[in-house]
Structure 1
Amino acid sequence: MTENKTYDVIIIGGSYAGLSAAMALGRSLRKTLVIDSGKPCNIKTPHSHNFLTQDGKSPKEISAIAKHQVEQYDTVHFYEGIADSAKKTDGGFEIITRDGKQFISKKLILATGISDLVPDVKGYKESWGISLIHCPYCHGYEYRNQKTGIIANGDRAFHLASLVKNLTSEVTIFTTGKSTFNDQEKETLKQNEIDIIETEISILKHQNGYIESLILSDGREIKLNAVYAGFTYKQHSDIAENLGCEFTENGHIKTDHAQKTNIPGLFVCGDNSSMMRSVSSAVMTGNVAGAMVNMELVTDRF
C-alpha cells in the first residue's frame, strides 16, 4: 500500500495492459499509481500463447514477471484494492476506492477489462478459459486435429467456424436454438462438412475443466475435446460509463489510435476497448496509452 495521494497518472487495472502502461510511464519518470484487485479474468487459464518470449507460460507467471520488472521503476506505486468511482475535476481526476481511500491525478488510464457473461449451464464456468475457450489464435494450436465444438450463432459462429476449420476437420456448431445462418452460409458450412445442432445444451461434461462431451436436452451426448464459445460480456467496471465515455456498438470503450477517449485526460487500454483479447494486444495498447499520456503531460508543461 502506498501513502501518497497525488500522482501524475493513475492506472486502474494492473494486468498486462495496465502494467505495460505503467512501465512506459515509469521509464518517463512519471509518478504513477496502479490500483488493482489481483483478480484477472484469465485467472484459470493454464497457458498463454502467441506472445513472443512468453509462449506457453501461465498468465500468472507472465504477470508476476511483468510486475517485478515494473516495480524496479521507483516512481511507480501499487495499491491493492478496487477503484469504486472516479470524478473529473479541474485538475484531472479523483479516485475513490472501495475501502474509502482517495487518490488524485492529472491523467487517468483505465485498464479495467471486461467480464464474460457465462451462461448458467452445468460445467461451463468450471471449464471456461481451460477447454471452453474464446480464441483460435490463443488456444487453437493446442486443440488442432481434435473434435471441436462452437457454441454460437449467426455471424459470430460463421466467423469462428472459418478459423477453427483450418485447425481441425471435425467441427460442430451448437446454436442452442434455431440457427440464424442465411442460405449462403448454410451452404458454405455444409460444403466444409460442419454440422449445425440447434438443440439446447444441458450439461458440459469435463474433468477439472477439460471437456469430455456435451449432453443435449434430448439426451444425446456429443464427444468433444474443446469448445469455442461466443459468449456476451460487459465492462468489468462502470467508471468509464459514469465519466461519460462513448462506447462502440459492441460495448467497448471508444478510443482513437492513441488510446484516448472522448473525455479529456482519460485513456483506455486492453480488453475494455478492443476485440483482440490476447496478452500481446493488451501489452501493445498499454504501451501506446502510457506513451501518449506521457506526451500529453509533456505538452501540458513544455
Structure 2
Amino acid sequence: MTEMRRYDVIVIGGAAAGLSGATALARSRRSVLVVDGGQPRNAPSDGVHNYLGHDGLPPALLLARGREEFIGYGGEIRTGAVSSVTRLPDDGFAVALGDGSVVEAARILVATGVADELPDVAGLAGRWGVDVLHCPYCHGWEMRDRAIGVLATMPLAVHQAMLWRQLSKDVIVFSHTQPGLDLGGLDVEVVDGLVTAVETRDGHLSGVRLADGGTVARDVLVVSPVMHARAGFLSGLGLEPEIQEMDGHVIGTQIPAGPTGATGVPGVWAAGNVANLMETVVGAAAAGVRAAVAINADLAMSGR
C-alpha cells in the first residue's frame, strides 16, 4: 500500500521534543504528521521533573495533553515505526512505515530519542526508571535520604556519587567493573566485587547481591546506561549516529546536529536525546521548538 499524501513536515517520534516541534509548526499552519512508536524513554517514571508548571506530572499524561494540543491545531498522528527515509527527486522525502505505507514530506524532524543499554545485572532491567535510576535531577529529590548505591561501570560513577551524596548521607559505591576508583576524599563507602543481581521485597528494590554471595541493603541503585540513538532508519540518507565519549569511555551515540537541530543532510533536523544524550525533558521540548522555528523559516525561504 502506498499513500501519496505530501506534508510540509513529518516528525518522527512523538514525545516531548517531537510533539513540541510539531505543535509549533502546526501553529504556523504547516501540515504536519507525527509518526510515533509509542515507546517514550521515561514511561516507567512516576513523574516529569524540572519542567516548570508540570512538575510531577506523569509522563503519559504530559504526552496525552501534548497530543491533544497538537491535534487541536490541525496536526495528524499515526502510530507505528519508520523503517526508512529516502530522498525524492524534488528534494522532498519518502518515509516508509512498518505497515508498508509510504508518506512524503518536504522536511523531516527526527525526535526518536535513545534506547538505554543497561548493565548486565540480573533483575536490574525490571526496576529501570523506578528505583534503578541514572539522573539525580530527574529523580533525586524523590529519593532523598534513602539508602543509595552507585554501580560503577565507568569512571562517571565518581561524578554520580558526588551528585547523589548531596541528596543522601547514605551512599555506597559498588566498584563492580571499575576497581580502584579514586573518590578524591569523598565521604562515601566503596564495596569491592562484582554485582550479580538486584533483589526486591514487596515490589521495591531491597538490596544488591555480590558475586561472593553477600547482599548489601539498598533502596536505590544508580547506573550508567549506554545510550543508543534510535536512528537506524536514517542510514539510507547517509546519516549515521556518532559515538560519544566521556573520559575515554563510550557513553552512547547521537545524531550530529547544529544549534537549531540541522543535520548534515539538508532538509533533515534532529531534536531531543537523539541529538543530545544529556537533554532533559524540558530541554528536549525546547530543542523541538528551536528546530521547528528553523524548519518553518527554511520552508518560507523556499517559497512554501
Amino acid at match of 1:224: R
Aligned partner of 2:220 in structure 1 is 226
CA distance in 2, matches of 1:8, 1:255: 21
CA distance in 2, matches of 1:276, 1:209: 30
1:193 aligned to 2:187? yes
Gaps of 5+ in 1: none
Aligned partner of 1:87 in structure 2 is 86
Amino acid at match of 1:86: V
Q: Which structure 1 residue ranges, 4+ long, deviate > 6 Å from structure 2?
A: none
Could you say what secondary structure the match of 1:212 adopts?
Answer: strand
Amino acid at match of 2:31: K
1:245 aligned to 2:247? no
**What fraction of aligned residue pairs are identical, expressed as a percent?**
29
CA distance in 2, matches of 1:169, 1:207: 23
1:57 to partner: Cα distance: 1.4
Aligned partner of 2:249 in structure 1 is none
Deviations along 1:227-257, whole A, 9 cap, x unmatched? 1110112222302344222544311111111
1:236 aligned to 2:230? yes
Whether contact under 8 Å (2:229, 2:241) holds in the other structure is: no
Structure 1, 279-288 or 205-214: larger mean CA deviation: 205-214
Aligned partner of 1:63 in structure 2 is 63
1:286 to partner: Cα distance: 0.7
1:4 to partner: Cα distance: 6.6
1:144 to partner: Cα distance: 1.1
Deviations along 1:266-300, whole A, 9 cap, x unmatched? 00011111132421111111111111110110111
TM-score calculated relative to the size of structure 1:
0.91
How many pairs are equivalent? 293
Amino acid at match of 2:177: G
Amino acid at match of 1:73: Y
Aligned partner of 1:214 in structure 2 is 208
Aligned partner of 1:161 in structure 2 is 161
Aligned partner of 2:126 in structure 1 is 126
How has the CA–CA distance of structure 1 residues 30 and 151 changed in structure 2, closer, same or farther, with 3 Å as cutoff?
same
CA distance in 1, matches of 2:132, 2:7: 41
1:225 to partner: Cα distance: 1.3
Amino acid at match of 1:210: H
Deviations along 1:28-49, whole A, 9 cap, x unmatched? 1001110012121222212221
Deviations along 1:51-74, whole A, 9 cap, x unmatched? 111111110111111111111011
Aligned partner of 2:247 in structure 1 is none
Could you say what secondary structure the match of 1:196 adopts?
Answer: strand
Whether contact under 8 Å (1:128, 1:209) holds in the other structure is: no
Structure 1, 246-255 or 164-173: larger mean CA deviation: 246-255
Superposed, which structure 2 residues align to 1:34-183 within 5 Å? 34-74=34-74, 76-90=75-89, 91-179=91-179, 181=181
How has the CA–CA distance of structure 1 residues 259 and 128 changed in structure 2, closer, same or farther, with 3 Å as cutoff?
same
CA distance in 2, matches of 1:208, 1:54: 30
Whether contact under 8 Å (1:131, 1:209) holds in the other structure is: no
CA distance in 2, matches of 1:98, 1:29: 28
Whether contact under 8 Å (1:127, 1:209) holds in the other structure is: no
CA distance in 2, matches of 1:209, 1:121: 18
TM-score calculated relative to the size of structure 2:
0.91
Aligned CA-pair RMSD:
1.8
Aligned partner of 2:248 in structure 1 is none
How has the CA–CA distance of structure 1 residues 131 and 277 changed in structure 2, closer, same or farther, with 3 Å as cutoff?
farther
CA distance in 2, matches of 1:207, 1:96: 45
1:92 to partner: Cα distance: 1.7
Aligned counterpart in structure 2 of residue 268 of structure 1, from 245, 270, 275:
270
CA distance in 2, matches of 1:28, 1:36: 21
CA distance in 1, matches of 2:41, 2:64: 15
Could you say what secondary structure the match of 2:140 adopts?
Answer: helix
